[in-house]
Amino acid sequence: MQKNRLTWMIGGPQGSGINASAEVFAKACSRAGLRIYANIEYHSNIMGKHSFYRVRVDDEDVRSYRDTTDILVALDLETLLGDGDHRRWPTHYGHLHEVNQGGGVIYDADIGFDPAASDRKDVHFRAVPFMEIIKKALEEVGKGEQARRYEVMKNTVGLGASLALCDYPFDLVAEVIRSQFKGKRAEVGELNVRAARLAFEFVKEHFDTAKFPYTLKPYPEPKARIVAKGYEIHAIAKLKAGCAFQTYYPISPATDESVFLERHQRDYNLLVVQCEDEIASINMAVGAAHMGVRASTATSGPGFALMVEGIGFASITEAPGPVLVMYQRGGPSTGMPTRQEQGDLQFALHPAQGDFPHIVIAPGDLRECYQDTFSAFNWADRYQMPVIVLSDKKLASVYTTIDKLELKWDQIDRGEVFTGSEWTSVSAKGSNDQGSQTPATNGNGHDKLDLAHVREYLRYALTPDGISPRSRPGVAGGRFWATSDEHDPDGHITEGVEMRVTMMEKRMGKLALAAKAIPQEQQFFLHGPKTADLTVVAWGSTKGTILDALRVLETQGKKINYLQCRLMRPFPAAGVAAVLKGAKRLVTIEENYSGQLNSLIAEQTGVRIADKINKFDGRPFSEDELVKALSKVHDGAVAKPVVTHVR
């Protein structure tokens, strides 16, 4: 009997409400003191195509999914057998083969499935009359003839039936269902609770559940924990940082963040603008940053492609931002809009023409999403440059347990700001530009200039550290020029050789300042023992899966550690190189075709890592896949790409 360690999966056509039932189940487990990790796979169309949602529940922290499931709830036949019966090129072969030995399959009795024809004789099949149960629940309130209108409640029926199978207390789930339907929708919530209860009772009455080997029990005194999705955490971090202006153009999977912020904007002095396109989104955000507010935007790969000139504009004008959260997805072009890929690292590092400074950071889990998004606003203000936070579809949509949402570096830093009480020495214009405004007025309220005594505001003053105090409209004496052309300390266009060199060195030098100031833990971190037989090198959202896999491999006596690269620009080359050069054997793990971090490491450190475990089929690594792949590499095999097991 396996207790408090269970994987539950529900599958059906898109639009059938599988996400609602999965998240109710996950939330009920979390409230009972259990830890959950849930992820959804869905097509990029709105209705009809097959989608499924996994919920992994455990006593210990879980940070990834497993290839197999203990309970499968099938709302249609395709969930069991796939779509190979009517497609020349099947997209999947169903999930029946993924059910663990002794596991349970709850399916709608009306879908035409015959368990006797299946070769899975080692699982418990439970046919449940979904529509009959919905009709019965409606008849109790005098709406029996409206059963077809409430067909979406099949998801709740499947949930209720599976609770009976794993012996989980029904009332805990009922409480969560009711919390989802408030006000005028409370009646619908009660209907869902009743349908789930009838399904629960049906399974208990018609099947022997005592012998089912996978059960869940709540803790007597559960601890309060947060259950959240990645896009919510990015959004909350923006609110915490004092973001006042967010722009976006709808695109998967980034839209959810902006929609979340729209719902809360009136409570947090925030304005969210849905723009006509991504070009407008980035330029409005850059303009808002110049106006003195903390500004941000969010997009995915195709939208980012339209933002590149705006990012260069932000950098050359030394705007304090914006912060851009980039949710990677399968590419190129439209690619796979709702699937996972870490394919945009090199794009984020080199997004526009020319050399210019910007910061790129790639958090590995939801806690890091919170910290890094918050920190990004400080870096944008302090170093006056755009900051890209590299997230992805996996981080955006994962629904998981967080013990506590907190910031290790929690101070807000607005950087060097011109207040009107200080002035810049004219000498800060550079040795080759003394008196260029004489005898005219300088536009900041002075008459003819006496260069021996006058001090004025220079937006791009040549300071020792390269950071010039920034102004904003309304500050007395702080008016300045900003242009996308190369410019002098006044902000006026110049094409002079010496000024070009001076300004390039001024801007690019700020990256070195950031590299010294950003805490090392936010740049890279070595997980596990200092010395190991194999060192894994990876970045971004593969973190949780790697840590889960290493926990399994440790029980097998395999000594493996993991170098997580987090700050991608400026890249901590010396620190990373020191770890790599001390390793016995190296392997990179990435969810892209080419191994983009692998290439970056070679470029920055000179260390070439021969072994690459890559996955690029649009699905994230599972714990099982990495356990198998790393075990082989540890034992001496050559690393190979991983493909999701679909048969």
Q: Over range 5-20, report the average pLDDT.
A: 95
Q: What integer pLDDT is reported at residue 418 of this predicted model?
A: 92
Are 219 and 254 in the same domain? no
In whole angstroms, what is the distance from residue 622 CA to residue 68 CA? Answer: 10
Q: Over range 169-177, report the average pLDDT.
A: 96
In whole angstroms, what is the distance from residue 581 CA to residue 593 CA? Answer: 25
Share of the chain above pLDDT 70, in %: 94
Are 215 and 287 in the same domain? no
Contact 223, 61 (CB under 8 A): no
Smallest CA-to-CA distance from 415 within 500, 292, 537 is with 292
Q: What integer pLDDT is reported at residue 366 of this predicted model?
A: 98
Are 213 and 139 in the same domain? yes
Residue 459: pLDDT band (50, 70, 90) is very high
Q: Is residue 97 part of a domain?
A: yes
In whole angstroms, what is the distance from residue 30 CA to residue 226 CA? Answer: 8
Are 248 and 191 in the same domain? no
Q: Over range 325-347, report the average pLDDT.
A: 97
Are 204 and 309 in the same domain? no
Q: What integer pLDDT is reported at residue 435 of this predicted model?
A: 44
119-166: pLDDT as tens digits: 999 999 999 999 999 999 999 999 989 989 999 999 999 999 999 999
Q: Over range 519-536, report the average pLDDT.
A: 98
Q: Is the pLDDT of residue 445 over 60?
A: no
Query: Alpha helix (H) ranges present in 453-590?
Result: 497-517, 520-523, 543-555, 573-581
Q: What integer pLDDT is reported at residue 35 of this predicted model?
A: 95
Which of 377, 402, 427 delimits the end of a domain?
402
Q: Looking at this protein, which amino acid is placed at residue 256?
A: D
Are 150 and 12 in the same domain? yes
Residue 429: pLDDT band (50, 70, 90) is confident
Bridge partners for 274 per DSSP: 248
Q: Is the pLDDT of residue 461 over 50?
A: yes
Q: Is the dihedral of CA 457, 462, 464, 470 positive or negative?
A: positive
Q: What integer pLDDT is reported at residue 84 of this predicted model?
A: 78
3-class state of residue 476 by DSSP:
coil
Q: Two tokens at 145?
A: 């003839």
The number of distinct structural domains making up the chain is 3
Residue 500: pLDDT band (50, 70, 90) is very high
Query: What is the crossing angle of helices 186-206 and 170-180, to 10°?
Result: 160
**For residue 476, what are the contacts with CB-CB under 8 A and spacing of at least 6?**
420, 445
**Cα 164-168-172 angle, rounded to 5 deg:** 115
Plot region of 86 (φ>0 → left; ψ -120 to 50 → alpha; else → beta): alpha
Q: Which domain holds residue 220?
A: 2-224
Are 184 and 291 in the same domain? no
Identify the CATH number of the domain in which residue 544 sits. 3.40.50.920
Plot region of 354 (φ>0 → left; ψ -120 to 50 → alpha; else → beta): left
Q: Looking at this protein, which amino acid is placed at residue 623?
A: E
Are 183 and 233 in the same domain? no
**Cα 518-524-529 angle, rounded to 5 deg:** 140
Maximal C-alpha separation, the chain: 98
Identify the CATH number of the domain in which residue 119 sits. 3.40.920.10
Query: What is the crossing angle of helices 230-241 and 255-264, to 10°?
Result: 50
Share of the chain above pLDDT 90, in %: 86
3-class state of residue 536 by DSSP:
strand
**Element of type H or E holding 2:** strand 2-3
Provide the b/e sequence for 584-602 (b: ≥16 CB within 10 Å). eebbbbbbbeebbbbebbe
Which of 224, 241, 275 delimits the end of a domain?
224
Are 180 and 153 in the same domain? yes
Higher-pLDDT residue of 510 and 89 is 510
Contact 72, 103 (CB under 8 A): yes
Q: Two tokens at 163?
A: 């609770």
